[in-house]
Amino acid sequence: MIRLQALRKVFGQRVAVDGFDLHVPRGVVFGLLGHNGAGKSTTIGMLLGQVWPTAGEVRVCGHDVFSHRSQALARVGAIFETPVFYDYLSGWRNLEILGGYTAPSRPERIREVVAWVGLSGREQSPVRTYSHGMRARLALAQALLPAPELLILDEPTNGLDPEGIHEMRETIRRLHAELGLTILLSSHLLSEVQQLCTRIAVLHQARKVFDGSVADATRSRNRVRLRTDDFPTAVAALRRDGLITGHEGGEFVTLTDGIGPSTVVKRMVELGLPVHAIQPEEETLEGFYLSLVKHAAQSEPSQARR
Amino acid sequence: MFFLQLKYELWKLFGKKRTYIGFGAFLLVQNAVILMFRFTKATGAIRRALEGGGYPAEAFLTASTIATQVVIPVAFLLLPLYVALVGGDLVAKEAEDGTLRMILARPISRVRLLALKWLAGALFSVLLSLMLGLFGWLFASLWFPQGGLFAIQLETGPSAGFAVFGGAEGAWRYGAAHVLLATKAITIMGLAFLFSCFNMKPAAATILALSVMFVNAILMNIPWFADYKGWFITHHLNLWQWMFLQSPPLARMGESISLLVGFNLTFFAVGAAAFQVRDIKS
């Protein structure tokens, strides 16, 4: 659905995005993470043909965004962090106008999306009378108007209260479940991304530092919970055999790189130690993100020397 | 599809209150000037000029004559201001408000979007020019009778003389002058639109366009540069006034119209090129 290849954008002396390769398959909810200025919004700008890449290729729905813009964006909807409209016009008029840049919108279709986002009854009121939450719903309605296959959400919960954030999260779930949309979600809220996304990419200082499934990101590769009758004996034996590098709390062991839980189980059985449970420890996305960013920051000085 | 999108652009333009500032200002200024003519001795100079030339003053102190006197200062000062205001807003205001990013998330090309916006601005300019003429004539008709048209020949200065026309000829010349005035309005709007395509505030685009016009007008009016009048865009923008000459210089008018078409195409092309390479960010 989205394919970025060696994407690079430089503003003056500042590199905003550097060598970004990305593949977002059809039907996933994909999270784009990164600190402020990491290059998320610039990447979204390039995806929508609003920002010209310095180098690289951007393909959306199988088409190059810059040479075949109309085909690439025909079935794409987008929401930006602060929903802005023609405040002096009604919600309905705004939908007609914004939808009209893709294709003329039939009144039945407008009624349908207005009902879907829960704005029925207020669509004829001027947008200046809308609350922030209603604007967010109108933004979603305009994005849904062309019956998109891909929805790009750039910080969609910015400025929303906790109820609004919850509502938006549920709406994204519905969009994916009921309409089967592919969704690219850029957000600072890591818990939200963890709940909604199946895959993520993390940008740090213009470069991609992770691209994979949320399950991979939240699974600690080395740390496992090991339940056995005699934990100290097991730890001593496993350490002697070089299968673990550490332990903590009478329940957790850190596996040596390249060693999987099955190897540990096999060795313990050989030693006659019972294994009641062995389970890779789940990490929060927040923990994963912070350690990733810390690691990236530590490796930067050595990269700079090179 | 193009005309439907043009309709949407017009909704946006005419849905804004500030679009009507020009119309409101015309109403106020025109009525003020007409009432000054009606209730002061300001018509005395026109009367003397007519009688000195052997014309019956009563036949030419008419609604058309007064409306023509009103349009001159309005077309010189107010019309450029309001069309530049709208032209400067067309792209820059949408960029400033953030709605441009919403639009450019759609599969519309930038050039097509600009063509729609320019066309909406041109329609506004035509409407404003025609309304200027219509309002002037309507309000003058409330206080002055219908009849012939007396017009000072501005081309070579008031001292150069005047022209008089019968009722029917005066009416069509008055109408034709306002149609040609639309070329001035469109060109100034187009210049502001050009600046609006760059990354700048709407007010900056408006001020830049007006500055270019004023600098042109200042240079053109320096007596020593009289031989180079044709080099200044403001000279060609005044072609509407030539409709009030006894014999309109049709060849010169054709030349000026051609040049204005060229200017407008250039403004659009430069604006479109600048807009095409711009990065649109929040």
Give Cα A83 to chain centroid, integer Å. Answer: 20
In whole angstroms, how far apart are CA A305 and each of A8, A292, A301, A302, B257?
Answer: 22, 21, 6, 5, 64
CATH 3.30.70.100 residue ranges in chain A? Answer: 220-282
Note whether B281 contacts A51, CB cutoff 8 Å.
Answer: yes
Give Cα A141 to chain centroid, integer Å. Answer: 21
- Candidate from B8, B12, B105 with C-beta closest to A48: B105
Residues of chain A with C-beta less than 8 angstroms from the C-beta of B108: 70, 101-102
Residue B223 lies in a domain: no
Which residue of chain A is at minimal alpha-carbon distance from B105? A48
Q: How far is B61 from chain A (nearest CA, A)?
A: 45
State the total domains in chain B.
1
Q: How far is A174 from chain B (nearest CA, A)?
A: 23
Residues of chain B with C-beta less than 8 angstroms from the C-beta of A97: 8, 11-12
How far apart (Å, rounded) are the C-alpha atoms in residues B177 and B38? 24
Note whether B108 contacts A101, CB cutoff 8 Å.
Answer: yes
Q: What is the mean pLDDT of chain A?
A: 88
Which residue of chain B is at minimal alpha-carbon distance from A69? B107
Query: What angle is formed at CA A235 by the lines to CA A234 and CA A237, rounded to 5 degrees?
Result: 65
Note whether A98 contacts B5, CB cutoff 8 Å.
Answer: no
Residues of chain B with C-beta less than 8 angstroms from the C-beta of A10: none
pLDDT of B192:
97
Note whether A45 contacts B5, CB cutoff 8 Å.
Answer: no
Question: What are the backbone dihedrals phi and psi of residue A119, each rounded to the nearest 5 degrees, phi first?
Answer: -110, 10
Residue B115 lies in a domain: yes
Interface of B with A (CB under 8 A): 1, 4-5, 8, 11-12, 15-17, 97-99, 101-109, 113, 277, 279-282
A6-45: per-residue pLDDT in tens? 999 999 999 999 999 999 999 999 999 988 888 999 999 9
> Could you tell me if A52 lies within 8 Å of chain B, comparing CB atoms?
yes
Q: How far is A85 from chain B (nearest CA, A)?
A: 6
Note whether B1 contacts A104, CB cutoff 8 Å.
Answer: yes
- Candidate from B4, B102, B107 with C-beta closest to A84: B102
Note whether B281 contacts A82, CB cutoff 8 Å.
Answer: no
Candidates 3.30.70.100, 3.30.572.10, 3.40.1030.10, 3.40.50.300; CATH matching A220-282: 3.30.70.100
How far apart (Å, rounded) are the C-alpha atoms in residues B124 and A120? 34
Which residue of chain B is at minimal alpha-carbon distance from A52? B279
Contacts of B6-13 spanning 24+ positions with Cβ under 8 A: B6/B116, B6/B119, B6/B120, B8/A96, B8/A97, B8/A100, B9/B116, B9/B117, B9/B119, B9/B120, B10/B120, B10/B123, B11/A89, B11/A93, B11/A97, B12/A86, B12/A89, B12/A97, B12/B120, B13/B86, B13/B90, B13/B120, B13/B121, B13/B124
How far apart (Å, rounded) are the C-alpha atoms in residues B66 and B162? 14
Note whether A86 contacts B12, CB cutoff 8 Å.
Answer: yes
Residue B266: domain span: 2-212+240-277
B244-260: per-residue pLDDT in tens? 888 888 999 999 999 99
Work out the pLDDT band at B229, boundaries 50, 70, 90: confident
- Per-residue three-class SS string for A91-117: HHHHHHHHHHCCCCCCHHHHHHHHHHH
ipTM: 0.84
What pTM did the predictor assign? 0.86
Note whether A69 contacts B102, CB cutoff 8 Å.
Answer: no
Which residue of chain A is at minimal alpha-carbon distance from B116? A101
Rg (CA), chain A: 24
Does the domain at A2-216 match CATH 3.40.50.850? Answer given as no
pLDDT of B158:
45
pLDDT of A221:
63
pLDDT of A306:
40
Residue B270 lies in a domain: yes
Pick from B40, B71, B46: which is nearest to B140 by CA? B71
Instruction: Check whether A303 has a pLDDT greater than 60.
Output: no
Pick from B281, B282, B116, B106: which is nearest to A65 by CA? B106
Q: Which of B4, B102, B111 to mutate to test the interface with A (most CBs of A within 10 A)?
A: B102
pLDDT of A184:
95
CATH 3.40.50.300 residue ranges in chain A? Answer: 2-216
How far apart (Å, rounded) are the C-alpha atoms in residues A138 and A95? 8
Instruction: Check whether A174 has a pLDDT greater than 70.
Output: yes
